[in-house]
Structure 1
């Protein structure tokens, strides 16, 4: 894809354990275009965060084994970079926002100094210029009285305001790619919406490409242009927002959509959870990893992993139901008002 700023190709990541290698990410492929938001969605343990941390090379060196693949950023494979080279990229060109802001902030340092750190490290500016930029960043992310709050400590901010500070730190060096790993999970619904709106607004102003990692499809409604659904270390379906919400073809995607509240759904109608639990990735065998939980499972699902079927230029799915020999199944009713089309166009 020529307009991709970041391309992950056939990535395979394992961890060494007492029981041998645990394959956490298996053959993952995706592109992040310039200026777009791509969401990777899936349950806990599906490999989303491992994929994100692989890009930033934040996984523990002693136990991590990257068996295969490449992570190409602006034509360069980051997996070939040494420690010094990746540190030059990390924070300055590719930044990351983590789930819990308190793990990203030093409780003993004032907020202003923490925002300034990245600016001073990666940019040739004076301390005075760094202070000015840090204040501007805090204003950009909506911190009231930014100049005064520069001298505050993290515990003096609410959870939502701390997350805004973390976003300001991630934006300190004008990165081209922003990776947001479950950036709103620890926040209440109202603050969650504010943070997502903030990220959309920043993207419009800066043109930053955003890779958002989440377990909740509802988080990415009206934010992501494309979605990759991940399960047991593999991407099982990829498409535009509308393709995934209105024309999805993988039973796991259907399950995620059925378990998500709809805009005008009667509250007396129960949500439908996905039966069973995600598989233990250390115990995976041949075949589709979703087979044990799939209501449409066939014999072949247990023995062979399906290839990706290309349904359109932007939509692909890995499911045996796409095989011409498979029985036709009726898609479940996923609700008609999951996405506001006017907002996402």
Structure 2
């Protein structure tokens, strides 16, 4: 059995504000094995990108507080690594594809030079060797006329091509872990499918572990081995792809899946949106953060935070409905209906 290459344990992240500290990530736990993909899903503001940037240590130092937790990469705690050592890890061993390809590239530098920059920093390559490697990466990600495109600027590429360039940059040093933060946002459906197929092909060739940050459950179904569902800064359900899609146990996960279009459904079948809005993290109470939007809420949900219930070796959920102390007549059957 493969060992975990990356483990996030009890991670808490807060930000200093004029009104005091606001906790954006609360007790997050997950792991990923070499060559596998974990998808972290949830609405905007659920803490997905903060978690990803914590792994890379890219959050602003001046107002970020990480009071608890550790992030272990090959048994090294990234949070306690000296900055010099962390800079060696970034790009060479752990890379990140950022959310917006339009702003991820330097508009004043040629594409080839931007890819070569990481190669010359992390690997003992000459300028000629780095250029050859950059050319190989552009060809690998399917950029046509790659040799001439090395000399082009970002504005000369379409959005889909820029995203391919960003992926080429991230994979140039053969990282062991790739963090992809909404890698297909703002791309049309055809280009989105090409980018996902590209990532899967590269994963197979390089045996790279992928941490996929997304709110698109269609992308999750196409890519993930394991799924972590985040809400209000915490993971509310965690399991294999089949467990999350077909053995759903949290009302929020159910809501996400029911609001996803079903190509096999009749035209008259409406989508079922989740009512309300995500909570204000600055005013969270002591109860379940999803209580105000949950159709199955009970009195205990408003006053006490649910404990994590381990349903199997791979499946866990934080919900009072699945707690062993909840009377059976108060726990509606929600399992299995989510994938419709």
SS at match of 1:222: helix
* Corresponding residue number in structure 2 for 1:174: 174
Describe how 1:24-63 pairs up with structure 2 within 5 A. Answer: 24-63=24-63
What is the CA-CA distance between 1:307 and the residue it aligns to? 1.3
What is the CA-CA distance between 1:335 and the residue it aligns to? 4.4
What is the CA-CA distance between 1:270 and the residue it aligns to? 1.2
In structure 2, the CA distance between the partners of 1:18 and 1:241, relative to structure 1 (3 Å rule), is same
Matches of 2:47 and 2:19, distance apart in 1: 19
Does 1:244 find its partner at 2:247?
Answer: no
Which structure 1 segments of 5+ residues have no match?
Answer: 337-345
* Corresponding residue number in structure 2 for 1:19: 19
* Corresponding residue number in structure 2 for 1:92: 92
* Corresponding residue number in structure 2 for 1:136: 136
- Which region of structure 1 is more displaced relative to structure 2, 281-290 or 322-331? 322-331
TM-score by length of 1: 0.95
Q: Is the 8 A contact 2:119 2:172 kept in 1?
A: yes
* CA RMSD in angstroms, aligned pairs only: 1.2
- Which region of structure 1 is more displaced relative to structure 2, 321-330 or 54-63? 321-330
The runs of at least 4 consecutive aligned structure 1 residues that moved more than 4 Å come to none
CA offset digits 1:265-316 (Å, max 9, x no partner): 1232111100000001111110110000000001111111111111111111
TM-score by length of 2: 0.97
SS at match of 1:221: helix
Describe how 1:303-318 pairs up with structure 2 within 5 A. Answer: 303-318=303-318
SS at match of 1:178: strand
Matches of 2:199 and 2:58, distance apart in 1: 23
Describe how 1:168-207 pairs up with structure 2 within 5 A. Answer: 168-207=168-207
Matches of 1:334 and 1:39, distance apart in 2: 18
Matches of 2:297 and 2:71, distance apart in 1: 33
Matches of 1:30 and 1:251, distance apart in 2: 20
Q: Is the 8 A contact 2:94 2:176 kept in 1?
A: yes
SS at match of 1:230: strand
CA offset digits 1:197-216 (Å, max 9, x no partner): 11011001100000000112
* Corresponding residue number in structure 2 for 1:340: none
* Corresponding residue number in structure 2 for 1:74: 74
Q: Is the 8 A contact 1:99 1:186 kept in 2?
A: no
* Corresponding residue number in structure 1 for 2:150: 150
Q: Is the 8 A contact 1:111 1:151 kept in 2?
A: yes
SS at match of 2:183: coil
Which structure 2 segments of 5+ residues have no match?
Answer: none
* Corresponding residue number in structure 2 for 1:341: none
In structure 2, the CA distance between the partners of 1:84 and 1:262, relative to structure 1 (3 Å rule), is same
Matches of 1:72 and 1:23, distance apart in 2: 21
